[in-house]
Structure 1
Amino acid sequence: MRMRCAVLDDYQRVATTMADWSPVLDRVEVVSFAEHFATEDELATALADADIVVTLRERVAFPASLFARLPRLRLLVASGMRNSVIDHAAAERHGVTVCGTASAPTPPVELTWALILGLARGLVTENAALRAGGPWQSTVGADLHGRRLGLLGLGKLGGRVARVGLAFGMEVTAWSQHLTAERAEEVGATRAASLEELLRTSDVVSVHLVLSDRTRGLLGERELALLRPTAYLVNTSRAAIVDQDALLAALHRGAIAGAGLDVFETEPLPADHPLRSAPRLLATPHLGYVSEDNYRRYYGDAVEDIQAFLAGSPIRRLG
């Protein structure tokens, strides 16, 4: 009898066409789900007969309670090589092998700049007006050349964002708890003396930190109040780094010029969520890593992970 592989959150229905699954189809039946399962009960029901699950990034949590309800599960493949919503200890206790895939850093960098440019030049407002027969020009764009880009985090993503900022003629500063001046100099940036200094002096602040106990809620009411009223805040990293209620309040009172978000505490974002109607907000449905090349990499590596697992030699193990 063939094993059953469930592919979760295949919103665009492309999981089975973005890779060649034929190497495993003689032993594995692949079923993809386009709908998101919002509760553990729904997820446990959908995956009851799954031996293998492929999940994208951190869209779906796999706590100990879920592993206990999936006795058939033997392999969990998560795209990327880091996943904070999988209980790896519970997976091991239940005999589930967890593997990852490669992930390209460029798609989220490109989306970061799409949000920055969209905010600075009022693209959504102007496009909507043009298509609806509204006013011809109603906004005055904010210049990026000569302005300061402040980066929270200067790793492989932040470093690439920095280089694009320099290409636009921006002055780039960066801060993180362990950032060195030498690392900042590598990408042409300067290290801010403190988080507070970066927030006070930047025209655009972009978040590229890993979520941890140190960074959770890093930007709260006090920190957001340090931003200039003409500044933009962009978060394509993790929603919990920015206090959602504090950001909503800042947007509603016009304390900042705008925000660009690609990540949310609850995904998909509920239809009645206040962020959907917040002013000065340009938001996308977590598209940072959603690109053709990245999907081919995710699903192609997932097939390789399944092949290796079936051969008794799992690769790219996480835990």
Structure 2
Amino acid sequence: MNIAILDDYHGVAADYADWSKLGPQAKIKVFREYLPEAERAAALQSFDVIVIMRERTPFPAALINALPNLRLLVTTGLRNNAVDLAACKARGITVSGAPGAADAVTATSELAWTLILGLFKNLCTEDVNMRRGGWQTGMPLPLAGKRLGLLGLGKLGQAVARYGKAFEMDVVAWSPNLTPERAQEGGATYVSKEDLFATSDVVSIHLILSDRTRNVVDAGAFQAMKPTAFLVNTSRAGLVDQDALMAALRHKRIAAAGLDVYSVEPLPADDPIRQLDNVVLTPHLGYVSEDNFRAYYVNVVDAIEAWAAGKPIREL
């Protein structure tokens, strides 16, 4: 049984689970570096089992059909929009999920709040300027009394709403299925999508990407936002029209953005967004924590073990 573990950027997969449970027949190769698309099929030809970290490496039909030995694909998490499940089913390939730890929601909501604080307090710019010998080069903004607009009020949105309330912000929310009653239960006031963009001092995105929500933040949304407002995205890049985002940042239609997710990941070194001075950028850290990764890899091993015994678990 040849097993490939992809995208182990931190080099922790081998230590975070007991892979010896799979027996001496399991031959494991860890790929720490991201495999470029042009190299994937050749690099993965010999593997029966491939373990992927969330949506870091897409598995479309073309790649799946180019891997003749693939029999089991295990994804961390219990949902992966980057895997063509229909193509896997057509090939008879089992796809199993591996859940993370209970702190995954906490980790992501904390990162969203870190980005919000960084934007309001001009933290990254002040840090750079201090290292260059500068002193008080910007004017930090208070959060109390400002409006926090949440696109999505599920578990993540509700966690961010609680932080907003703790900082004495006015918290409002909208999503396609949200009602005033559910918003109130989640710690926010329901407003229309139009009002949310027009009146919020910071908009934080917490929606699931689907055909219905793709590009929900479009050019019209940026046009409606205050020129002093911030956008924070720790969900999925596809929720935001990336061309409209770049235009809004370049032309200062909004003050700044805090981003943890990108259309292409890892973000290319020459991506133009790296050159903007009104962004705070993090490398998709929302779900990254030791507890979460330990849970992922322990559950990955369990999924492979169950599949090898002819009793696959958590099939997607």
TM-score calculated relative to the size of structure 2: 0.96
Give 4+ residue runs of structure 1 displaced > 3 Å after superposition: none
Matches within 5 A, 1:94-243: 94-103=91-100, 104-132=104-132, 134-192=133-191, 194-243=192-241
Measured on the aligned residues, the alpha-carbon RMSD in Å equals 1.2
Q: Which whole-Å deviations, capped at 9, do the CAs of 1:89-139 have from their partners, x for residues lacking one? A: 11011111101121322211111111111111111111112223x212211
2:79 corresponds to which letter in structure 1? R
Q: 1:63 aligns with which of 57, 60, 65?
A: 60
Q: Which whole-Å deviations, capped at 9, do the CAs of 1:231-253 have from their partners, x for residues lacking one? A: 11001111011111111111112
Answer yes or no: is the 8 Å Cα contact 2:158–2:187 preserved in 1. no
Match of 1:28 in 2: 26
Q: Which whole-Å deviations, capped at 9, do the CAs of 1:14-68 have from their partners, x for residues lacking one? A: 11112222211423122111111121x4111111111111101111111111111
Answer yes or no: is the 8 Å Cα contact 1:235–1:261 preserved in 2. yes
3-state SS of 1:76 partner: strand
3-state SS of 1:312 partner: coil
CA distance, structure 2, for counterparts of residue 187 and residue 18 of structure 1: 35
CA distance, structure 2, for counterparts of residue 299 and residue 182 of structure 1: 39
CA distance, structure 1, for counterparts of residue 177 and residue 12 of structure 2: 40
1:271 corresponds to which letter in structure 2? A
Match of 2:44 in 1: 47
Answer yes or no: is the 8 Å Cα contact 1:251–1:279 preserved in 2. no
Answer yes or no: is the 8 Å Cα contact 1:58–1:85 preserved in 2. yes
Shift, 1:213, TM fit: 1.2
Structure (1/2) with the larger helix percentage: 2
1:256 corresponds to which letter in structure 2? I
1:302 corresponds to which letter in structure 2? V
3-state SS of 1:279 partner: coil
Question: Does residue 298 of structure 2 align to residue 295 of structure 1?
Answer: no
CA distance, structure 2, for counterparts of residue 301 and residue 20 of structure 1: 10
Shift, 1:174, TM fit: 0.4
Answer yes or no: is the 8 Å Cα contact 1:248–1:278 preserved in 2. no
Match of 1:89 in 2: 86
Answer yes or no: is the 8 Å Cα contact 2:215–2:238 preserved in 1. yes
Answer yes or no: is the 8 Å Cα contact 1:108–1:236 preserved in 2. yes
3-state SS of 1:172 partner: strand
CA distance, structure 1, for counterparts of residue 261 and residue 19 of structure 2: 30
Q: 2:70 aligns with which of 68, 73, 96?
A: 73
Match of 1:313 in 2: 311
Q: Extract unaligned runs of 5+ from structure 2.
A: none
CA distance, structure 2, for counterparts of residue 29 and residue 158 of structure 1: 41
3-state SS of 1:225 partner: helix
Question: Does residue 252 of structure 2 align to residue 263 of structure 1?
Answer: no
Q: Which whole-Å deviations, capped at 9, do the CAs of 1:147-171 have from their partners, x for residues lacking one? A: 1110001111111111111111111
3-state SS of 1:73 partner: coil
1:97 corresponds to which letter in structure 2? T
2:81 corresponds to which letter in structure 1? S
Question: Does residue 284 of structure 2 align to residue 278 of structure 1?
Answer: no
Q: Which whole-Å deviations, capped at 9, do the CAs of 1:208-259 have from their partners, x for residues lacking one? A: 1111111111111111011111111001111011111111111112211110
CA distance, structure 1, for counterparts of residue 271 and residue 13 of structure 2: 29
Matches within 5 A, 1:239-258: 239-258=237-256
3-state SS of 1:206 partner: strand
1:168 corresponds to which letter in structure 2? F
- Identity, % of aligned positions: 54
3-state SS of 2:257 partner: strand
CA distance, structure 2, for counterparts of residue 185 and residue 259 of structure 1: 27
CA distance, structure 1, for counterparts of residue 309 and residue 107 of structure 2: 32
3-state SS of 1:154 partner: coil
CA distance, structure 1, for counterparts of residue 170 and residue 279 of structure 2: 24
3-state SS of 1:124 partner: helix
